[in-house]
A and B are shown apart, each in its own frame.
Chain A
Amino acid sequence: MSVIAPNFKLSGFIKSLIDDVVWAVLIVSLIGLPAIMMVLFVIPMPVIDGELLTPFLAFTYLADPTRTLPIVQAFMTTDMFKIMAFPGFGFAALLAAGTIFVERKMLAKLQLRVGPFYCGKVEGILQLMGDGLKLISKEIIIPAKADKPIFWAAPVLFVASAAAFVALIPVAPGWVVADVDMGLLGVFAVIGFFPIVTILSAWSANSKFPFIGGIRALFQMVSFEIPLILSLLGVVMVTGTLNLSEIAASQSSFPWIVFLPVGAIVFFITMLAELERIPFDLPEAESEIVAGWLTELSGMMYGLVQLGTYLKLYAFAALFVVLFLGGWNGPMIVPPFPMEIVTHGLEMGPVTVKVGGLEPLLTQVITQEMLNGTLMFVLKTVGVIFFILLPRGVFPRIRVDMLLNLGWTKLIGLAFVNIFIALALVYAGVLGPGGLQ
């Protein structure tokens, strides 16, 4: 639109070309080649049809789909795929990026304005990429008297704990990064780690505004942890297990929110407080303490903290869906893959295209059940995220003493009411081992 290009100079153009070539050579030789070496030496190569799969063999196989599909299938069952793409980091990052975009546009529509608009041809889709590139290009300024090792490590620890939280959530039956038997206890442990990281980051910055912000974040997160844990105990009582996949599987006929609505509401409110969303965004209260504990972070450290925050948002919403809304259960809306394409092949005019190797992929890895489960899960998570984003447009910020009052008295009371309801349901035989399944 209003980009003003400077005058074209041939020397400047050639200089930029040479710059690009130099950077490309540097990056390939210093990062690309060691990465390939690591892949070749550290990660065990699968054995397909009696042959060890080296990168050269993989490239030849790519030309023939009958041979590519077993590779893809073998890859999709490895741990690395689960950590990186689905349901781990890639899936969560995609949902988080979508959340950021939807948040900005939905909030803009609520406030009768447009939101991101120029970046990307369609109503500002590439705005997030533009923001990320901007953050990478900024200088990271460390205050002189800050405690440097801890200050550098704090955003990385934040993203690491958020990623650990994402790793515990089951998305479809059998698809979870870390299948821990006491999954819910693992969730509590990771949630307990967040205030520590926040106060480390705030204290090591050695400045007044992060200090106040960090203390407030500590108050907020610690005082809302107890109602959080208590509200989930009701679900544990009626299902009898701490494993998140089993809790999701036990809701095949009805979600737990029907029987434990009070617990769901308490969990929702404490979730907003743990995520530092409005109305509980005291630690970053802009008008009083500049930016709270994020004041001294600049450049990519701020970018990492934002990434961690949105991963946490996805993980909490997913936890709500798994525990209260039924996880991946739901009506079967994904149509089954027509099996004639597998057995007879696809008919395109005079030619029949038959692709081997499709059958084990479709029956073992990408089944109809898994696709349907993922779709229901994503729909429910998107719904919960909408309700998390909505209060941002509607409520002001609450004050510290009101927050503490809420967390230590009212919510704990409501959580105990929820536990009594759950106990009554189990002992009356309505739910649990003896009652409705």
Chain B
Amino acid sequence: MTNTATGIIRALNSGIKHIATKRFTLRYPEEKLKFVGDGYQFDPSTGVGIAGLKGRHMLFHDHCTGCQLCSIACEGVAEAIAMVKVPEEQKQNKKSIMPQIDYGKCVFCGLCVDACPFYALYMTNDYELSSFSKEGLIYTPAQLAVKPYVEQDSEIVITKYGATHG
């Protein structure tokens, strides 16, 4: 009987103590999370990737040769990359084709970045990719060349009164 009573009082005590602890929620979209690094990248010479968030891709038009390796890598996973013809003339891109990524299908696994041998495809920190129509989710090579501006201001801070996203 006393065991029950002490158990109940300890539980209530713990409850009251937690009313004085800080809240843990991240108030998105007023606060946005900070990321380490610039996005997931891959170095074909060493064969190891560089840690970063797997967000939207970024295509460097002056490195891409149109070899289609990224599209072949994606075929078993999500079939989100298709090669399209681009109007610009690049010296290293004889057939003038570049990848176009459909974010309705992409699962953000990063195997295409691992497959590219010419340092042309990286992933960035951009994750806010919503659109009003399914066609809006297909990013053409010109759209993929734009470096995104990502707002980041909060990270997990552990204080005396609890952890919070500050």
Contacts and interface: CB of A to CB of B under 8 A. Distances in A.
Nearest to B27: A114
Interface-centre pick from B8, B15, B23 (highest chain A CB count, 10 A): B15
B24 A391 contact: no
Given A2-B29, A112-B162, A394 B23 contact: no
B23 A391 contact: no
Contact of B15 (A2, A117, A393): A393
Nearest to B1: A410
The A interface, classified by DSSP as helix, strand, loop or mixed, is loop
Interface residues of B, number: 16
A390 B15 contact: yes
A121 interface: no
B143 interface: no
Interface string A1-20: 11000000000000000000
A52 interface: no
Contact of A112 (B12, B14, B16, B24): B24
Contact of B23 (A2, A112, A393): A112
A112 B21 contact: yes
Interface string A97-131: 00000000010111111100100000000000000
Interface string A382-425: 00000000110111000000000000000000000000000000
B25 interface: yes
Contact of A109 (B14, B19, B27): B19
Contact of B24 (A110, A113, A394): A113
B72 interface: no
Interface string A44-55: 000000000000
A108 B27 CA distance: 14
Contacts of B23: 108-109, 112-114
A279 to B, nearest CB: 10
B18 A390 contact: no
A322 to B, nearest CB: 25
B69 interface: no
Contacts of A113: 23-25
A390 B12 contact: yes
Contact of A110 (B8, B18, B22): B18
A112 B164 CA distance: 9
B145 interface: no
Contacts of B22: 112
A177 B22 CA distance: 43
A391 B12 contact: yes
A341 to B, nearest CB: 42
Interface in B13-42: 14-16, 18-19, 21-25, 27, 29
Given A110-B19, A390-B12, A391-B12, 12 more contacts: A109-B23, A110-B15, A112-B18, A112-B23, A112-B162, A113-B24, A114-B23, A390-B16, A393-B15, A394-B12, A394-B14, A395-B8
8 contacts: A111-B18, A112-B18, A113-B24, A114-B23, A114-B27, A390-B15, A394-B14, A395-B11
